[in-house]
Amino acid sequence: MYDLKRLEILYEISNYGSLVAAADVLGYDPSTVSAHLSKLQAEVGHTLYEKSGRGVVLTARGQELAQYAGQMLAIAERARIAMENPATTTPRMLRVASFNSAARYAVPQIFEQLEKRAPHLTLELTQLEAERSISELTKHHFDVAVAEEYEGRPVSLPPSLTRVELWQDPIVIVAPQSVVPAQPLKQMGWLAELPWCMEPVGTQLRAWSDAFLTARNIRAVPRFVSTDLSWQLQSAYGGHAVAILPHLVLDAIYRVEGQASSPHAVPQGLWVSEPLGKRTFLPLSAKVQQPTLQSQLFWIFCAR
């Protein structure tokens, strides 16, 4: 019998098309993944992959085995759930994986609506980065994964997943009102003279922000680097930095803290630009041939 962990590595390579990406998702270093892949190939007795540049490409045999691997991983997960809940024959839990800002600001609102419409369900939320949540979804560890897609930067998804565009969130610049000129978006050179608060390199928002600023010949120098978007907003509100943020962060914080009476109100002293672009929230679910309870729950989740 083939080792399930090695089959999982092959399956992730088929999803992401990269040994390095599979290693990152599974939490291994690339050399470990390469070693496991070589051992699996020796066990199978067929060529499963070929080197291509710095990466690998699955052969027809490798792709065929990866499909079987996906089925085996799904069966193993269903067996684990069955053993944890031996008296339950029909799943009644909606397991959701979501990235940070959606998990903090948006998904709880959806949960409130779900609890009203389907009180018999148990809702479970896990905060994971987008790539990890997509990987776990393909292995049926979750029923729904919420991803984000920034305008002009489409998300690459495994063909086994279904996507729905749930809603769109404007992207804006926030800055201390005291430093903003009369026509801030017509002449944007003033932004290069101010300290910035940004996400680390490698995140989707940072990539989108860098591309937006570079296209306008603005060299932003981050003084503060953080993945905490609410902290970035408070840095701008406190007069310390400029930031590019999804508007959802402003809506949630100032509505919850009572500093504004309406979702799109802006507190005194803070300047918020017109929308520069948008990000789209994408609930994802595994494709199914026949309707199942889990697929029905996915569409309930998407019906805001």
Domain boundaries, the chain: 4-84, 93-167+281-302, 169-279
Domain 169-279, CATH class in plain words: alpha beta
Q: Which is nearest to 300 in space by CA: 117, 98, 145, 112?
A: 117
4-84 classified as CATH 1.10.10.10? yes
All residue ranges of the chain with pLDDT < 70 are: 54, 77-78, 80-82, 84-92, 105, 113-121, 252-266, 287-304
pLDDT at 100: 78
3-class state of residue 204 by DSSP? helix
Angle between helix axes 229-237 and 247-256 (nearest 10 degrees) is: 80
Q: Which residues lie across from 244 on neighbouring strands?
A: 173
End-to-end CA distance of the chain: 45
Global confidence as pTM: 0.63
Q: How far is CA 248 from the centre of its chain?
A: 15
3-class state of residue 94 by DSSP? strand
Q: Which CATH number fits domain 93-167+281-302: 2.60.40.10, 3.40.50.720, 3.40.50.2300, 3.40.190.10?
A: 3.40.190.10
pLDDT at 136: 87
Quote the DSSP letter at residue 104: I
pLDDT at 173: 95
**Residue found under tokens 């007069």:** 239
Residue 94: which residues within 8 A CB-CB, separation 6 or more? 114, 121, 122, 123, 124, 143, 144, 297, 300, 301
